[in-house]
Each structure stands twice: as C-alpha cells, then as structure tokens.
Copies of this chain bind each other. A is one copy, B any other.
C-alpha cells in the first residue's frame, strides 16, 4: 500500500493542478433505477472530460475497507492513509481551528444527560445550542484545574460537541473512551491501554470528576463523554512534500481541518457550491494546487435518496466548465469514498476517477461512472497513488534512480 514516492524527485514549475473531490461520489445500482447514481445522472461535461482523460477505480485504503473521511482525504492528498491515520480527537481539534501543538492529546467530547443514578439517558444532551455549549465550556474552564501537571483547553464545537486538549510533558494517547456509546449505563472511567499512558488516564479522570461537579446542577448537560483520544504529530506539509502552494476550497469543518492538517491555505467558507467554483477562479493565480470539495452528494447518499443524489451530481456536472475553461494542466475528478444510496453510508466500493492532462494516455472510457471507469487505463489502484500521478502529469516529478 505504501506509495513509492521518493521526495527527491519533486521539482516545481508553473503548472496548475485541480482536484475536484465529490464527497460520497461512488454508488451502487438500485432496483428500477437503471444503474448507479452516476450512470443514471446526465453528466455531459464529466463524460466529455472522461473521453479525453485517463480513467480508473481507486481504493481509498484497501479493497474491502470502508474509510472514514480522514484516511480517505489523506490518501487523496498523497499521504499513506494507514501510516498517517489521524485520530478522531486531532481531527475534531483541527475542525474547530484549534492550534494544536506537537504532542498535545486531543479528544472529542459530547455533553450528555445523566439520570439521578448517573446513567446516560441522552448522549447529546437534548442537542443543546452552541450558545449554551459556549457558556458551559467557560464555566468548566473557570473551575477545573489540572496544574501543575498539565494545561488543558476545553473548547465548544457545534451544538453539544466539545474538544478537550491536554498539553504537558509525557502525555500519551493509548487510552480508552469514556463515552459508552450506549444508554442506561454510566460513563466509563478512562484507562490506559499501555502502561506509559496510565498517568494520562488518571489526569483525564481528574478532569472529568471536576467537570462533573461543575455540570451537576445542569438540567440537560449534566454529564460529559469523551472519545477518540489522539496525540498530535505534525504532518509534513503539501509544500514540503510536493512543492505545492495549495488552496483548500471546502465548506465543512472536517474537510477544512484535514486540509489544514497538511498546511493548505483555506479559502473562507462560501455561500454554496457555486460559490466554491467561483472561488477557484478568483484565487487561480495564487496557488499551484486546488482542493475543491463538494459535500452534497455524500449527504444525499446518506439519506438513501437515490434521485436526489442523481440531481446533485447533475448540478456538479453543470459547474465543471467553471474549471475546464481555466484549462488547468492537470484536472482530477474523483471522490473521497463511495456513499451508495442503497447502503445509506460510506462504503468500501472503489471510486471512479478521471485524470485530464495533455500528457495523459487517453483510454477508451467515454462515460464518467463506476462501471465505465473499471475499463480505464488507470486500472484499479490505491488512491494514495493519485497525487504522484497528478504531479507526474504536471511534469513535476523527475527521474527516479540512475
């Protein structure tokens, strides 16, 4: 799985590379629909592009493995998704723009409702508002103290969601969740799964018992559940690895966080999908690489709404000329993972992909869909290879070896 990619072959030039990433792109045929979502959708622009491109099927992590958004995007950005697997806590911290430092341990948290016996009755505290969340976080920060052992940051995210960050010497993330992910049971104590993390576990339990006192009188948010403890390691940036000045155009916090993880610059959140394509045009002269992320098809897939996914794919298709008229040196269109309406969730199915470039060895694929791309010249391969392929077609990689 590890992509063979010696950094030493990277060179820079003035070429432009655009990745149009359609979240949840891949699908499955459903009875009575006449094919997959992409097959059924009228996508003349993508089909025209596919006919002038090299196409294939990409496995985000490995055949059969359903990826979370983290591993899938890291693979797209050319980072081995297993070697660089990102923990949930770190991803959440990036999602709220928290400035993590190397070796910080971060966790995702939920405010929750506990009954008088201390058992969880609502893992989301009745979906309290972000404003209430902010007030509760301030209260906790005021009264919970872990000095001198460590500093901590307790930050509100959207609705009932929070991020806890511990900062100090010798912290580790071999830790169990305190969120039981079930109702009718008490929150769990945090435990070290390796001896080195036992002291960190005690520290977290100290935090939780103090926070519990602060929250005890709250009506709905009288409990706190933590999960996905993860220690932050800095990722080598897109510029360091590939010599690419990179811009992320993405409207959702998680994808913005993932782009920031590899040190892309972030374009401000746009009003809608059309705004994202317009932003590409506005910022086109400033960068080498553009990550343009479209979220909506994934959401329609998760809703199980085949027809709505078809329609949104057609809307994306209609915007494709916004990119092609810029005439980028390399244009890649693919997704991060499949979200078939039939399954209503992320799936393991590989992603159709096209790579357009004047140096692409154009194959016989004439339609951009999962079945047609299976016959393409890229074949079926690990998604992590895509970045090397894009760089190569942009003439940004020199010869490897003597």
**Interface residues, chain A, CB within 8 Å of chain B?**
1-6, 9, 28-29, 36, 57, 61-71, 81-82, 85-88, 91, 228, 340, 342-343, 346-349, 359, 361-364, 370-371, 374-381, 385, 387-393, 397-402
- Within the oligomer, what is the number of copies of this chain? 2
Q: Is the CB of A67 within 8 A of B401?
A: yes
Please indicate the chain B residues that have their CB under 8 angstroms from the CB of A343 in the complex.
Answer: 359
Please indicate the chain B residues that have their CB under 8 angstroms from the CB of A376 in the complex.
Answer: 374
Mostly, the A contact residues are loop
Contacts A4-B65, A64-B385, A374-B379; is A402 near B359 (CB within 8 Å)? no
Contacts A379-B57, A380-B378; is A400 near B370 (CB within 8 Å)? no
Contacts A66-B392, A397-B66, A401-B81; is A363 near B359 (CB within 8 Å)? no
Closest beta carbon of chain B to A385's beta carbon, Å = 4
Please indicate the chain B residues that have their CB under 8 angstroms from the CB of A340 in the complex.
Answer: 359
Closest beta carbon of chain B to A72's beta carbon, Å = 8
Closest beta carbon of chain B to A286's beta carbon, Å = 25
Contacts A1-B4, A36-B361, A371-B377; is A398 near B66 (CB within 8 Å)? yes
Select A68's contact among B57, B85, B380, B402, beta carbons within 8 Å: B402
Closest beta carbon of chain B to A87's beta carbon, Å = 7
Contacts A399-B68, A400-B65, A402-B87; is A370 near B361 (CB within 8 Å)? yes
Please indicate the chain B residues that have their CB under 8 angstroms from the CB of A375 in the complex.
Answer: 364, 374-375
